[in-house]
Amino acid sequence: MRVKAVIEYLGTAFAGWQVQPNQPTVQAALEKAVTVAVGERTRVEGAGRTDAGVHALGQVAGFDVPDDTDLYRLRASLNGLTPPDISVVDLAEVGDGFDPRRDARMRSYRYTIVNARPPSPLLNGRSWHVYPLIELALVARLAKALKGPHDFGAFRASDCQSDTTVREVHHSTWTRDDHLLTYDISANAFLKQMVRVLVGSMVDVALGKLDEDEFLGLLEGGDRTEAGRTAPAEGLMLVSVDY
Protein backbone atom coordinates (compact mmCIF):
# COMPACT_ATOMS: atom_id res chain seq x y z
CA MET A 1 0.00 0.00 0.00
CA ARG A 2 1.27 3.43 -0.96
CA VAL A 3 0.86 6.05 1.78
CA LYS A 4 0.83 9.84 1.62
CA ALA A 5 1.96 11.51 4.85
CA VAL A 6 1.60 15.13 5.95
CA ILE A 7 4.37 16.05 8.38
CA GLU A 8 5.03 19.03 10.62
CA TYR A 9 8.47 19.63 12.09
CA LEU A 10 10.68 22.13 13.84
CA GLY A 11 13.89 22.06 11.81
CA THR A 12 16.26 23.57 14.38
CA ALA A 13 17.85 20.30 15.48
CA PHE A 14 18.07 18.77 12.00
CA ALA A 15 20.60 19.07 9.19
CA GLY A 16 17.70 19.39 6.78
CA TRP A 17 15.24 16.90 5.28
CA GLN A 18 17.55 14.66 3.25
CA VAL A 19 19.52 11.78 4.76
CA GLN A 20 23.17 12.72 5.37
CA PRO A 21 25.99 10.63 6.88
CA ASN A 22 26.40 11.14 10.63
CA GLN A 23 23.82 13.97 10.68
CA PRO A 24 20.31 14.03 12.19
CA THR A 25 17.76 14.59 9.42
CA VAL A 26 13.98 14.48 9.20
CA GLN A 27 14.01 11.85 6.46
CA ALA A 28 16.31 9.56 8.47
CA ALA A 29 14.15 9.87 11.60
CA LEU A 30 11.01 9.03 9.64
CA GLU A 31 12.59 6.10 7.80
CA LYS A 32 13.80 4.63 11.09
CA ALA A 33 10.36 5.04 12.65
CA VAL A 34 8.47 3.50 9.70
CA THR A 35 10.93 0.61 9.51
CA VAL A 36 10.41 -0.19 13.20
CA ALA A 37 6.62 0.24 12.98
CA VAL A 38 6.03 -2.02 9.95
CA GLY A 39 8.91 -4.44 10.48
CA GLU A 40 10.64 -3.92 7.16
CA ARG A 41 13.10 -1.40 5.76
CA THR A 42 11.21 1.47 4.16
CA ARG A 43 12.24 4.41 1.99
CA VAL A 44 10.46 7.70 2.74
CA GLU A 45 10.41 10.22 -0.13
CA GLY A 46 9.67 13.89 0.48
CA ALA A 47 8.07 16.63 -1.61
CA GLY A 48 10.88 19.08 -0.86
CA ARG A 49 14.39 18.96 0.54
CA THR A 50 14.25 21.65 3.20
CA ASP A 51 17.63 23.01 4.35
CA ALA A 52 19.15 22.72 7.80
CA GLY A 53 17.13 24.77 10.26
CA VAL A 54 14.10 25.20 7.98
CA HIS A 55 10.71 24.22 9.41
CA ALA A 56 7.59 22.65 7.92
CA LEU A 57 3.89 22.92 8.62
CA GLY A 58 2.81 20.74 5.70
CA GLN A 59 5.69 18.70 4.29
CA VAL A 60 4.40 15.76 2.24
CA ALA A 61 6.06 12.36 2.01
CA GLY A 62 5.31 9.04 0.36
CA PHE A 63 6.25 5.49 1.36
CA ASP A 64 5.09 1.88 1.05
CA VAL A 65 3.71 -0.33 3.83
CA PRO A 66 2.13 -3.80 3.92
CA ASP A 67 -1.41 -3.86 2.53
CA ASP A 68 -3.00 -4.82 5.86
CA THR A 69 -1.49 -1.85 7.75
CA ASP A 70 -3.91 0.10 9.96
CA LEU A 71 -3.00 3.72 9.16
CA TYR A 72 -4.60 5.12 12.32
CA ARG A 73 -2.40 2.89 14.47
CA LEU A 74 0.60 3.52 12.27
CA ARG A 75 0.28 7.28 12.75
CA ALA A 76 0.22 6.81 16.52
CA SER A 77 3.26 4.53 16.33
CA LEU A 78 5.24 6.97 14.18
CA ASN A 79 4.53 9.85 16.55
CA GLY A 80 5.78 7.69 19.40
CA LEU A 81 8.92 6.64 17.55
CA THR A 82 10.02 10.04 16.16
CA PRO A 83 11.56 12.94 18.12
CA PRO A 84 9.11 15.43 19.67
CA ASP A 85 10.01 18.06 17.06
CA ILE A 86 8.46 15.85 14.32
CA SER A 87 4.72 15.22 14.07
CA VAL A 88 3.02 12.96 11.53
CA VAL A 89 -0.25 14.86 11.15
CA ASP A 90 -2.04 12.68 8.61
CA LEU A 91 -1.69 9.40 6.72
CA ALA A 92 -3.80 8.43 3.71
CA GLU A 93 -3.75 5.65 1.13
CA VAL A 94 -2.91 6.82 -2.40
CA GLY A 95 -2.26 5.26 -5.78
CA ASP A 96 0.81 3.10 -6.26
CA GLY A 97 2.44 5.65 -8.55
CA PHE A 98 2.25 8.59 -6.13
CA ASP A 99 5.49 10.59 -6.14
CA PRO A 100 5.41 13.43 -3.59
CA ARG A 101 8.02 15.50 -5.44
CA ARG A 102 7.18 14.99 -9.11
CA ASP A 103 3.39 15.00 -8.66
CA ALA A 104 3.35 18.31 -6.78
CA ARG A 105 1.72 21.20 -8.67
CA MET A 106 2.54 23.99 -6.22
CA ARG A 107 4.55 24.58 -3.05
CA SER A 108 3.98 27.39 -0.55
CA TYR A 109 6.53 28.88 1.85
CA ARG A 110 6.35 31.52 4.58
CA TYR A 111 9.17 33.66 5.95
CA THR A 112 8.90 35.48 9.28
CA ILE A 113 10.83 38.60 10.32
CA VAL A 114 10.73 40.33 13.71
CA ASN A 115 11.26 43.97 12.72
CA ALA A 116 12.00 47.30 14.41
CA ARG A 117 12.05 45.97 17.98
CA PRO A 118 14.36 43.79 20.11
CA PRO A 119 14.39 40.06 19.29
CA SER A 120 11.37 37.99 20.28
CA PRO A 121 12.17 35.14 22.70
CA LEU A 122 8.92 33.43 21.71
CA LEU A 123 10.01 33.34 18.07
CA ASN A 124 13.64 32.46 18.75
CA GLY A 125 14.74 29.92 16.15
CA ARG A 126 11.64 30.59 14.03
CA SER A 127 12.29 34.10 12.72
CA TRP A 128 14.92 36.56 11.49
CA HIS A 129 15.48 39.64 13.63
CA VAL A 130 16.01 42.80 11.54
CA TYR A 131 16.12 45.97 13.64
CA PRO A 132 15.94 48.87 11.12
CA LEU A 133 12.37 49.55 10.05
CA ILE A 134 11.47 47.85 6.78
CA GLU A 135 8.99 49.83 4.67
CA LEU A 136 6.08 47.52 3.92
CA ALA A 137 5.04 49.35 0.75
CA LEU A 138 8.52 48.90 -0.73
CA VAL A 139 8.92 45.16 -0.08
CA ALA A 140 5.27 44.61 -1.11
CA ARG A 141 6.05 46.26 -4.45
CA LEU A 142 9.09 44.02 -4.92
CA ALA A 143 7.08 40.93 -4.02
CA LYS A 144 4.38 41.78 -6.55
CA ALA A 145 7.01 41.99 -9.31
CA LEU A 146 7.95 38.35 -8.64
CA LYS A 147 4.61 37.00 -9.85
CA GLY A 148 4.61 35.11 -13.12
CA PRO A 149 7.40 33.21 -14.87
CA HIS A 150 10.90 34.60 -14.32
CA ASP A 151 14.49 33.47 -14.55
CA PHE A 152 15.56 33.19 -10.90
CA GLY A 153 19.18 32.28 -11.66
CA ALA A 154 20.47 35.13 -9.48
CA PHE A 155 18.28 34.03 -6.56
CA ARG A 156 19.58 30.58 -5.75
CA ALA A 157 22.41 28.91 -3.88
CA SER A 158 25.77 29.05 -5.65
CA ASP A 159 25.89 25.22 -5.68
CA CYS A 160 22.35 24.79 -7.08
CA GLN A 161 22.42 22.08 -9.77
CA SER A 162 19.04 22.69 -11.40
CA ASP A 163 19.10 22.45 -15.20
CA THR A 164 16.67 25.32 -15.65
CA THR A 165 16.31 28.44 -13.51
CA VAL A 166 12.87 29.53 -14.76
CA ARG A 167 10.09 29.20 -12.19
CA GLU A 168 6.51 30.48 -12.14
CA VAL A 169 5.40 32.32 -9.00
CA HIS A 170 1.64 32.27 -8.37
CA HIS A 171 1.47 34.19 -5.10
CA SER A 172 3.94 36.63 -3.51
CA THR A 173 2.96 39.01 -0.70
CA TRP A 174 4.33 40.75 2.40
CA THR A 175 2.09 41.56 5.36
CA ARG A 176 2.77 43.37 8.63
CA ASP A 177 1.18 42.85 12.02
CA ASP A 178 2.77 45.37 14.39
CA HIS A 179 6.46 44.35 14.48
CA LEU A 180 5.96 41.06 12.66
CA LEU A 181 6.65 40.95 8.92
CA THR A 182 5.51 37.88 7.03
CA TYR A 183 6.32 36.92 3.46
CA ASP A 184 4.21 34.28 1.67
CA ILE A 185 5.16 32.82 -1.69
CA SER A 186 3.76 29.99 -3.82
CA ALA A 187 5.28 28.61 -7.02
CA ASN A 188 5.28 25.54 -9.21
CA ALA A 189 8.77 24.74 -7.89
CA PHE A 190 11.72 26.43 -6.21
CA LEU A 191 15.46 26.54 -6.74
CA LYS A 192 17.81 25.72 -3.86
CA GLN A 193 17.59 28.52 -1.25
CA MET A 194 15.49 30.60 -3.67
CA VAL A 195 13.07 31.90 -1.04
CA ARG A 196 15.87 32.79 1.37
CA VAL A 197 17.82 34.70 -1.29
CA LEU A 198 14.69 36.53 -2.43
CA VAL A 199 13.88 37.55 1.14
CA GLY A 200 17.46 38.59 1.86
CA SER A 201 17.60 40.61 -1.35
CA MET A 202 14.29 42.37 -0.69
CA VAL A 203 15.46 43.27 2.82
CA ASP A 204 18.72 44.58 1.36
CA VAL A 205 16.73 46.82 -1.01
CA ALA A 206 14.65 48.09 1.92
CA LEU A 207 17.82 48.86 3.90
CA GLY A 208 19.50 50.65 1.00
CA LYS A 209 22.11 47.96 0.38
CA LEU A 210 20.77 46.94 -3.04
CA ASP A 211 19.19 49.15 -5.71
CA GLU A 212 15.52 48.44 -6.48
CA ASP A 213 16.04 48.61 -10.24
CA GLU A 214 18.97 46.22 -9.98
CA PHE A 215 16.79 43.77 -8.05
CA LEU A 216 14.04 43.96 -10.67
CA GLY A 217 16.55 43.55 -13.48
CA LEU A 218 17.76 40.27 -11.98
CA LEU A 219 14.32 38.74 -12.49
CA GLU A 220 15.25 38.21 -16.13
CA GLY A 221 18.41 36.31 -15.21
CA GLY A 222 21.73 37.07 -13.60
CA ASP A 223 24.51 35.84 -11.38
CA ARG A 224 24.13 34.98 -7.70
CA THR A 225 26.81 37.53 -6.80
CA GLU A 226 24.59 40.34 -8.09
CA ALA A 227 21.70 39.67 -5.69
CA GLY A 228 21.49 40.31 -1.95
CA ARG A 229 22.24 38.19 1.08
CA THR A 230 20.73 34.80 1.92
CA ALA A 231 18.23 35.20 4.76
CA PRO A 232 18.78 32.86 7.75
CA ALA A 233 17.20 29.41 7.52
CA GLU A 234 15.32 29.64 10.83
CA GLY A 235 12.78 32.16 9.51
CA LEU A 236 11.59 29.87 6.71
CA MET A 237 8.74 27.34 6.82
CA LEU A 238 7.28 25.03 4.16
CA VAL A 239 3.56 25.68 4.60
CA SER A 240 1.93 23.31 2.13
CA VAL A 241 2.28 21.21 -1.02
CA ASP A 242 -0.62 21.04 -3.48
CA TYR A 243 -1.36 18.20 -5.90
**pLDDT number for residue 65:** 98
Give the residue from 161, 170, 132, 124 showing the smallest Cα distance to 12. 124
pLDDT < 70 stretches in the chain: none
Chosen CATH of 106-242 out of 3.90.1150.10, 3.20.20.120, 3.40.50.300, 3.30.70.660: 3.30.70.660
Interstrand relation of 236-242 and 55-64 (parallel, antiparallel or unpaired): parallel
**pLDDT number for residue 161:** 83
**Is 242 in the active site?**
no
**pLDDT number for residue 131:** 97
**pLDDT number for residue 163:** 87
Q: Do domains 2-94 and 106-242 have the same CATH topology?
A: yes
3-state secondary structure string across the chain: CEEEEEEEECHHHCCCCCCECCECCHHHHHHHHHHHHHCCCCCCEECCCCCCCCEEEEEEEEEECCCCCCHHHHHHHHHHHCCCCEEEEEEEEECCCCCCCCCCCEEEEEEEEEECCCCCHHHCCCCEEECCCCCHHHHHHHHHHCCEEEECCCCCCCCCCCCCCEEEEEEEEEEEECCEEEEEEEECCCCCCHHHHHHHHHHHHHCCCCCHHHHHHCCECCCHHHCCCCCCHHHEEEEEEEC
**pLDDT number for residue 112:** 98
pTM of the model: 0.96
**pLDDT number for residue 95:** 97
Total count of residues recorded for the chain: 243
Chosen CATH of 2-94 out of 1.20.1440.130, 3.30.450.20, 3.30.70.20, 3.30.70.580: 3.30.70.580
Q: Where are the domains of the chain?
A: 2-94, 106-242
- Could you report the per-residue pLDDT of 157-176, keeping only the tens digit for each? 989 989 899 999 999 999 99
**pLDDT number for residue 169:** 98
